[in-house]
Structure 1
């Protein structure tokens, strides 16, 4: 297994990367048709191909309606239809972008919740570990130089109180 782990990565990191990639694939596979369509439209409309396509279409539209294309009759000499089409397109495109942004924000919120949960678990585990190390040091007769610091580290932190204090200091 060690040979299959890229240089600079531990097996645990490689496992986590693979697990996250698999989870993303599974989430994409579970996405509804509506979500996949909205994401595809958003991806395309955010590309240079979309810009070039629009540049060509609008240039052709303008050229035809200025009479610069022989054999093709003018159909929008005041460009009102072009303005209407562009406005309706802008409404739909902004809606697709908002749909994709809402989904991405929900994913970011889930990741932030996971990060907070892991941080809280780590804090709790390190607090317990500090207590165990302190007990071992005491048992073998090793004196700690900063007893107050060690006692502070050994205290479990209540995340609700931390959040309440942060909110109180914002106001």
Structure 2
């Protein structure tokens, strides 16, 4: 009976519960929300307000740690903690800025594709209208003009008047 237990539980072809260390499941983020957050960070970090506040923060940090009594200083010269914080900020801000740039490139590409589509449609419409105008011009070329019709009517009237004059003349008796 012990053999039956081993045969069912330890077969490699039968999935079973995992034991021991398990890796955490893959973290999932809402791409759109995270992208908007990255764009907000990139937009703020590229503003004069960010540069001003960062300059004030760094200056205050350095002044405090250089002038304050030694007992309350928390980051002595060469300001290792400040350097570490700025490195961490750079490590996080660079990928966020790149993500924001990638999203902008995607929007630009979609806008360019839409512009190309509209341009192609406009070109097709213009070609169609050019063909229609050419067709109308050739059709108008075959139409009788007002002057032509007047001259034809005059000719017909002249012919009718001549026939009437001949009809009014007495017949010749020979």
- Compute the TM-score of the two structures, normalised by the length of structure 1: 0.59
Partner SS state of residue 41, structure 2: helix
Higher relative contact order (CA 8 A, sep 6+): 2
Hey, what does 1:95 align to over in structure 2? 95
Partner SS state of residue 73, structure 1: coil
Partner SS state of residue 40, structure 1: helix
Hey, what does 2:68 align to over in structure 1? 69
Report which of the two structures shows the higher radius of gyration computed on alpha carbons. 2
The Cα shift of 1:70 comes to: 4.5
C-alpha RMSD over aligned residues: 2.1
The Cα shift of 1:71 comes to: 7.6
Q: How many pairs are equivalent?
A: 112
Hey, what does 2:58 align to over in structure 1? 58
Instruction: Extract unaligned runs of 5+ from structure 2.
Output: 1-29, 143-174
CA distances 1:101-155 after superposition (whole Å, capped 9, x unpaired)? 111110000010011011111111111111110010011018xxxxxxxxxxxxx
Q: In the alignment, is the contact (CA less than 8 A) between 1:38 and 1:99 conserved in 2?
A: yes
- Compute the TM-score of the two structures, normalised by the length of structure 2: 0.58
Pairing 1:156-167 to 2, within 5 Å after superposition: none
Larger deviation, residues 77-86 vs 102-111: 77-86
Distance in 1, matches of 2:41 and 2:48, equals 13
Pairing 1:1-171 to 2, within 5 Å after superposition: 32-66=32-66, 68-70=67-69, 73-77=72-76, 78-141=78-141
Q: Which has the larger share of helix? A: 1
Instruction: Extract unaligned runs of 5+ from structure 1.
Output: 1-29, 143-171
Partner SS state of residue 101, structure 2: helix
Q: In the alignment, is the contact (CA less than 8 A) between 1:64 and 1:73 conserved in 2?
A: no
Partner SS state of residue 94, structure 1: helix
Partner SS state of residue 75, structure 1: coil
